Copies of this chain bind each other. A is one copy, B any other.
Amino acid sequence: VEVMASVRDPIGAGLEAHFRKLRARDEVSAAEEKAIRTVFVETREVPAHAVVVRRGQELSQSILLLDGWLARAQNTRKGARQILEVHLPGDFVDLHGFTLKRLDHDLIALTPATIAIAPYDRIRQLIDNYPHLARLYWLTTNIDAAIQRQWTFAMSRLPALARMARFFCELFLRLQVIDRATNNGFNFCLTQPQLGECLGLSAVHVNRTLQSLRSRGLVQLDNRYLTIVDGVQLRDLGEFSPDYLYLDWKAR
């Protein structure tokens, strides 16, 4: 992980997505926003496929994703890799490290990424001074957990086609929240083998499943851009309900 010189205010600009994400769920005052901005000490550029945090490593800082996609991953003994959760810009990627002190899985970069670093003592200070933010960040970890539950559900009970449909629905919605999707699609940089690592499928089967979604006229994947052709049917096929993303605005 290589440190890059901070130009102008790259952190401030990159935090855009983070505040969109928070404000989709609750109010964040100007004072709170200002306080959050002081938590980050530097940004880093991470190349694709890099391991950002290795399993078991002692932690003293948290990472907020400014740009690119990260993922939590864990390997089978035989070497197969499962991606447990995909993180998008604005996600406080390992805030739970703040209480856990180490991770039980790897944090890897799916694409080239820009991250911001928040030392634990500053986070500690932030949530001590702003109990509302403590609750709000607790909320975001709970939303992450809800997403995780839905993945468990999909892996255990849905066949490949539904699993993939649901995955696209979730990404689409989460990207819309942070303004990184258009009306009908989004940039999708994963390769088919990587998609298989997300869905617990072999690369071959990913290919066939993708073709099936295409031929049913539900999605289109060209040139690293995913087009949602028929969102209604896609949601139906994936048994997708956006409940679990808790996108309703409430005092927390």
Contacts and interface: CB of A to CB of B under 8 A. Distances in A.
A158 interface: yes
A37 interface: no
Q: Is the interface on chain A under 10, 10 to 19, 20 to 34, or 35 or more residues?
A: 35 or more
Contacts of A138: 99, 134, 138, 141
B246 A153 contact: no
A101 B149 CA distance: 17
Contact of A157 (B76, B136, B143, B241): B76
Given A138-B141, A148-B145, A156 B155 contact: yes
A151 B155 CA distance: 9
Indicate how many identical chains form the complex: 2
Contacts of A252: 99, 101
Interface of A: 55-56, 72, 74, 76-77, 80, 82, 84-85, 96, 99-101, 104-105, 127-128, 131, 134-136, 138-139, 141-146, 148-153, 155-158, 199-200, 239, 241, 243-244, 246, 250, 252
Given A99-B136, A105-B149, 12 more contacts: A55-B243, A56-B243, A77-B239, A82-B153, A96-B142, A99-B142, A99-B252, A104-B146, A144-B145, A145-B148, A148-B149, A155-B155
A127 B128 CA distance: 11
B200 A100 contact: no
Contact of A155 (B56, B74, B142, B200): B200
A74 B156 CA distance: 11
A61 to B, nearest CB: 16
| 5 closest Cβ pairs, A-B complex | A156-B200, A155-B155, A99-B139, A96-B142, A104-B244
A197 B250 CA distance: 33
Interface centre among A85, A100, A146, A246 (most CB of B within 10 A): A100
A243 to B, nearest CB: 5
Given A84-B152, A151-B152, A243 B104 contact: yes
Given A99-B135, A252-B99, A85 B149 contact: yes
A131 B128 CA distance: 7
